[in-house]
Amino acid sequence: SIASADMDLNQLEAFLTAQTKKQGGITSDQAAVIAKFWKNHRTHIHESLINQSRWDNGLKNMNWRVDLKSQLRHIDQINTPVAIVEMELGKNGQ
């Protein structure tokens, strides 16, 4: 719950306090250890969750342009814009 909500210190304190007060919850010593661990490793945990939820491939490069047709058989198709998009995909870190 703490990691998925990416809790700040105030949210963390309120959450852990609630967990210590509920029946069968954690002790105050356990809450202190969890709080210290979260404070020291929050950024790493958050980045790890983001990396796990990504697709294998990511966008490495993108090129685009818009062309206008100037010659066609039918006059109503002249000056019709056409977008051309080129995307290069690759694995993260490659």
| Domain span including residue 23 | 3-53
Q: What pLDDT, on the 0 to 100 scale, is given for residue 34?
A: 95
Q: What pLDDT, on the 0 to 100 scale, is given for residue 77?
A: 65
91 phi, psi to nearest 5 deg: -70, 150
Q: What pLDDT, on the 0 to 100 scale, is given for residue 91?
A: 74
**Residues 28 and 40: beta-carbon distance below 8 Å:** no
Q: Do 63 and 30 share a structural domain?
A: no
Q: Do 26 and 49 share a structural domain?
A: yes
Q: How many domains does the chain have?
A: 2
Q: Do 65 and 39 share a structural domain?
A: no
Per-residue pLDDT of the chain (94 residues; tens, 9 = 90+): 898 888 999 999 999 999 999 898 899 999 999 999 999 999 999 888 887 777 677 788 899 999 877 776 777 667 778 889 999 888 765 5
Q: Do 43 and 81 share a structural domain?
A: no
Give the Cα separation of 11 and 67 in Å (integer).
52
| Cα distances (angstroms) measured from residue 19 to each of 12, 37, 85, 89 | 10, 16, 51, 44
Look up residue 73 and give its DSSP letter: S
Q: What pLDDT, on the 0 to 100 scale, is given for residue 47?
A: 86
Q: Do 49 and 31 share a structural domain?
A: yes
Q: Do 38 and 70 share a structural domain?
A: no
